[in-house]
Structure 1
Amino acid sequence: MPEFNQDAFAAGLTQLRQRFQIELPQRLALIEAAWKNSTQDTASAELLNELHRLAGAAGSLGFAEISRLTRELEHTLKHELVPIDCYLKQCLQHNVW
């Protein structure tokens, strides 16, 4: 088994972080486009997926604040917005009228 080369690892991580920073505007553009494709009542699966991927990549590469903010947004959109059809079904099931 080859010996771990810390310098090569650090250089590779630096390259990944730089690439992340370069590609961040494109990722944000994808998120913005997915946001526009979402409805007022529910976030699209595409939007949630892009947010999840950005949060994970940011966290893995040491961009903790980007990761935290993105996860908060993902959580809010996923758990606090209820699709209107689900809401209506719940109202009908529980006679909330």
Structure 2
Amino acid sequence: MLKVISLLKRAENLSHEEFTKWVLQDHVEFARKLPGLRKYTVSVTNEDGAAYDSVNELYFDDDDARVAAFGSEHGKAAAADAAAHTTQRVHLLTTEHAQS
């Protein structure tokens, strides 16, 4: 399972509250339409002024599924929406190793 971790810094014209509403209500609609997406989580920072405002995790079966998802019409729309609401996005491709 491939996990994409996206660190998002809100656009300068958005308050922390406006960004939170956007990422939890509006942007999630784009994620729901990504083909091959297995799981999606969003964690919003608790404090204004943090290095990043949210950590989004997207799970795919493999890298081919990720590439297909973001190359799709919905993937391109999601990227455009994110670009319009952020000043910085960092994407980390990871494999999760659960420890108990």
- TM above 0.5: no
Structure number with the higher strand fraction is 2
* Greater gyration radius: 1
Structure number with the higher helix fraction is 1
When normalised by structure 1's length, the TM-score is 0.29
